[in-house]
Structure 1
Amino acid sequence: MNPMRALRQYQKVNSHAQISEASPHRLIQMLMEGGLERMAQAKGALSRGDIPQKALLLTKAVDIIGGLRQGLDADKTDDKAALQQLDDLYEYMAVRLTQANIKNDPEIIDEVARLLITVKSGWDEIAPQSI
């Protein structure tokens, strides 16, 4: 058996187990972590000149941000303005990552990563039971 294939299969099973056991709060954290990871991997691919891989990874990061946007729930907050601001921020991140993809610009990837880290750090401070 190919050891790399076995490792990928284990990671796939392990991630499915984590997802099935995760709270909604943890799922959002996992999405944010995944987005940051894809951006870092995309920067690595870009530095190696692997443009197809960079494009794939940035597309995945944009998809993850889209998932975060879809997860916003107006019914669970009284602060509609804050929710709209977060939606607008996610939209901005997706647009910027698309621009980074087109321009092969690692600085734009860094900008979006910093924004997502800021959102994630706030999310990490929220106790899961308060959601």
Structure 2
Amino acid sequence: MLDFAQGYQAYQHTSVNVKASGADIHSLVLMLFEGFLDELARVEGHIQAKRFDKKAAGVEKLLKILGGLDASLDQEKGGEVALNMHNLYQHCGHSILRASMKNNIAELEHVREVMTNLQEGWQGLLNKA
């Protein structure tokens, strides 16, 4: 029998698949940012509650999402902007690992700020399109 958490996860997975199936690249990137920020909040909760196994799984998800965002960059056409975003994603990944090793929530706040700013920038691009 599924517990509530498993049921909610199944719902989220289905919801994300439905949204992604009809989304353009800008919308997909925004979905990655949304998923990243949601998972970042969960990781913070896991650190506070000392659920270190779940924290580790969350950190792995965060790093995979950063990898997906990085892979979406067009290094040839994006030029300096793409390079700067790549560097920001790398910086956030390193900060997440440091925060995880030290169980330091404060270090994750900087990551949240950077990723929220990037998300807002992508949202602005989508609104203009």
Quote the Cα distance in structure 2 between the aligned partners of 1:37 and 1:93: 15
Q: Is the 8 A contact 2:37 2:112 kept in 1?
A: yes
Residue of structure 2 in register with 1:37 after alignment:
38
Equivalent residue, structure 2, for 1:87: 86
Gaps of 5+ in 2: none
Matching of residue 46 in structure 1 with residue 55 in structure 2: no
Matches of 1:113 and 1:6, distance apart in 2: 27
Gaps of 5+ in 1: none
**TM-superposed deviation, 1:99:** 0.8
Q: What residue in structure 2 maps to residue 106 of structure 1?
A: 105
Report how far residue 128 of structure 1 moved. 6.3
Identity over aligned pairs, percent: 25
Partner of 2:15: 14
Paired residues in the alignment total: 128
Task: Compute the RMSD of aligned alpha carbons.
Answer: 1.7
TM-score by length of 1: 0.88
Which portions of structure 1, spanning 4 or more consecutive aligned residues, are displaced by more than 4 angstroms? none
Paired AA for residue 72 in structure 1: L
Q: Distance in 2 between matches of 1:56 and 1:6?
A: 19
Residues 27-50 of structure 1 show CA distances to partners (whole Å, capped at 9, x for unaligned) of 000001111111100001111111
